[in-house]
Amino acid sequence: APACTIEVLAQAIKELFHADNEIKVIGIRHGEKMYETLLTDEECAHAIDMGSFYRVPADKRDLNYDKYFSEGIIKSSLTQFNSNNTQLMNTNLVRNKLLEVELVRNELANWENK
C-alpha cells in the first residue's frame, strides 16, 4: 500500500480546498511513531498473496516450542511492509486519492457553493 507523509496530506487538502492556511511543522512528539508497520517479518512468513493484498492467517501455534525449534524457522521471500519502506505518494496522488472519498467530494461541493 502506498503511503504519504502528513506534510503531503496537509498540502493536498490545502490545494483541494484552495486554502491559504499556513502549515506549521512542529516536529516529532514524545512517543510518536515515524512509520506504521503494516505486515511484520513474522507475518510475512505465513502471509498468503491474494493479488492486491496479503491475508495473514491467525497464529494458532501452541506453547510447545520444541517442535518449532526442531523444525526450524519458516523463511519467506517477503520482507516487512511498513509506511517507511513502501512507495510514498506525492501531493497529486494524494489529492486524487482524496477525491475518491465521497465525504471529501461532498465537502468540496459545499465549500465551492459558499
pTM over the 0.75 mark:
no
Residue 107, phi then psi, degrees to nearest 5: -65, -40
3-state secondary structure 60-114: CCCCCCHHHHHHCCCCCCCCCEECCCCCECCHHHHHHHHCCCHHHHHHHHHHHCC
Strands (E) in the chain, as ranges, are: 37-39, 48-49, 54-55, 81-82
Backbone phi and psi for residue 103, each to the nearest 5 degrees, phi listed first: -55, -45
Partnered with residue 36 across adjacent β-strands are: none
Instruction: Read off the pLDDT of each residue in 28-54 and give the average, rounded to a whole number.
Output: 84
Helix (H) or strand (E) holding 11: helix 6-16
Q: Which helix (H) or strand (E) holds 106?
A: helix 102-112
List the one residue out of 34, 11, 45, 41 whose CA is nearest residue 83.
34
Query: Per residue in 52-65, pLDDT tens?
Result: 888 999 877 777 76
Query: What confidence score (pLDDT) does residue 93 get?
Result: 95
- Tens digit of pLDDT for each residue in 56-114? 998 777 777 676 665 555 566 667 767 777 788 999 999 999 999 999 999 999 887 77
Placement of cell 511484520 in the chain: 40
What single-letter DSSP state applies at residue 46? T
